[in-house]
């Protein structure tokens, strides 16, 4: 059985916390109702980052987002990484913990990328086993995020929404729906993002994420989008959020901006736009 967080995430906008915004957030958070941190940045024993996070957690619900567990990797989950993650979640008691449907390790090598998986029965069993272990170690339910995709595997026997829904059914985990990832993948692979959202297990969604992407072209001149988290959310992604919220109802919505991080007013304005989208669906 999983523990229940003492402060659940509100159905309000959140932002990915960056230390340069610490003072501005405390002074005037604007539309921001919660914060997300990357777990791997806060696994140390102390120092200014931990002190700031403790202060922020007294005022805001916090979501912990992992990027290094390699949930889809062929090897076992790293026990040292799990132990540090358990320690972080133990003292912080976050409102939410999430990770990616991806792999990033092979033997002792760690790759600084979230790499794709074929959607097969063997992959399904491996991912579910890793999630079961993670949830048991943490004593809490996790959320699993849909990836941004640049290729599809010929051997895949599941489509992505059905694959994620089956993982949630087998493990009891929740899902994190990254709407920008949906738009990026749909553009790159040539499918309808609204149909994807319509097929998604929206009842299992605990968070919705938004972020910026870069536009490029592949070797054949076709559009290629890169999930960069380094720009404002594009208008078509905002439109897809409206469509998603109309189907799901209000959910916690996060603005991710991890590279070329802007000044606080720019990021808060993105949160305010998310607040307006949530207000429309609530009305």
Q: Are 212 and 229 spatial neighbours (Cβ–Cβ below 8 Å)?
A: yes
pLDDT at 107: 47
pLDDT at 3: 57
Residue whose pair of structure tokens reads 């320690």 in the numeric block? 87
Angle at 26 between CA 39 and CA 178, to 5 degrees: 40
CA-based R_g, the chain, Å: 18
Alpha carbons 227 and 245: distance in angstroms, whole number: 21
Alpha carbons 85 and 100: distance in angstroms, whole number: 15
Enter the CATH code of domain 13-282.
3.20.20.150
Per-residue pLDDT of the chain (283 residues; tens, 9 = 90+): 565 555 689 999 999 999 999 999 999 999 999 999 999 999 977 799 999 999 999 999 999 999 889 898 888 899 999 999 999 999 999 999 999 998 454 445 444 455 678 899 999 999 999 999 999 999 999 999 999 877 788 888 999 999 999 999 999 999 999 999 999 999 999 999 999 999 999 999 999 999 998 877 777 777 788 888 889 999 999 999 999 999 999 999 999 999 999 999 999 999 999 999 999 998 8
Q: How many helices (H) and strands (E) does the chain have?
A: 9, 12
Alpha carbons 151 and 141: distance in angstroms, whole number: 30
Alpha carbons 276 and 283: distance in angstroms, whole number: 10
Q: What is the DSSP letter of 238?
A: H
Tell how strand 103-106 and strand 109-115 pair up. antiparallel
For the chain, the domains span: 13-282
Tell how strand 205-211 and strand 253-256 pair up. parallel
Alpha carbons 7 and 278: distance in angstroms, whole number: 20
pLDDT at 110: 45
Alpha carbons 184 and 237: distance in angstroms, whole number: 9
Burial (CB < 10 A; 0-12, 13-18, 19+), residue 78, is middle
What pTM, to 2 d.p., does this model score? 0.93
Record the tokens describing residue 155, joined without a space.
């051997």
Alpha carbons 157 and 154: distance in angstroms, whole number: 8
Report helix, strand or coil for 222: coil
pLDDT at 45: 74
pLDDT at 102: 85
């Amino acid at each position: 059985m999983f523990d229940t967080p003492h402060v659940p995430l509100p159905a309000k906008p959140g932002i990915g916390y960056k230390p340069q915004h610490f003072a501005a957030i405390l002074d005037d958070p604007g539309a921001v109702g919660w914060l997300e941190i990357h777990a791997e940045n806060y696994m140390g024993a102390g120092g200014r980052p931990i002190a700031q996070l403790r202060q922020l957690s007294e005022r805001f619900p916090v979501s912990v987002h992992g990027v290094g567990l390699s949930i889809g990797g062929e090897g076992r989950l790293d026990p040292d990484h799990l132990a540090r993650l358990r320690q972080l979640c133990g003292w912080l008691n976050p409102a939410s913990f999430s990770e990616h449907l991806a792999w990033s390790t092979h033997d002792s090598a760690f790759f600084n990328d979230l790499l794709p998986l074929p959607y097969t029965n063997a992959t399904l069993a491996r991912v579910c086993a890793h999630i079961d272990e993670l949830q048991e170690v943490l004593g809490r339910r996790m959320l699993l995020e849909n990836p941004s995709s640049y290729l599809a595997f010929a051997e895949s026997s599941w489509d992505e929404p059905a694959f994620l829904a089956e993982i949630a059914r087998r493990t009891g985990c929740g899902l994190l729906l990254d709407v920008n990832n949906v738009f990026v993948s749909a553009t790159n692979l040539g499918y309808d993002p609204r149909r994807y959202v319509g097929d998604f297990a929206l009842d299992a969604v605990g968070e919705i994420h938004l972020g910026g992407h870069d536009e490029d072209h592949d070797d054949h001149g076709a559009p290629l989008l890169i999930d960069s988290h380094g720009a404002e959310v594009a208008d078509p992604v905002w439109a897809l959020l409206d469509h998603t919220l109309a189907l799901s109802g209000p959910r916690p919505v996060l603005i991710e901006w991890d590279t070329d991080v802007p000044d606080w007013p720019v990021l808060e304005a993105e949160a305010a736009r998310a607040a307006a989208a949530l207000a429309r669906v609530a009305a």
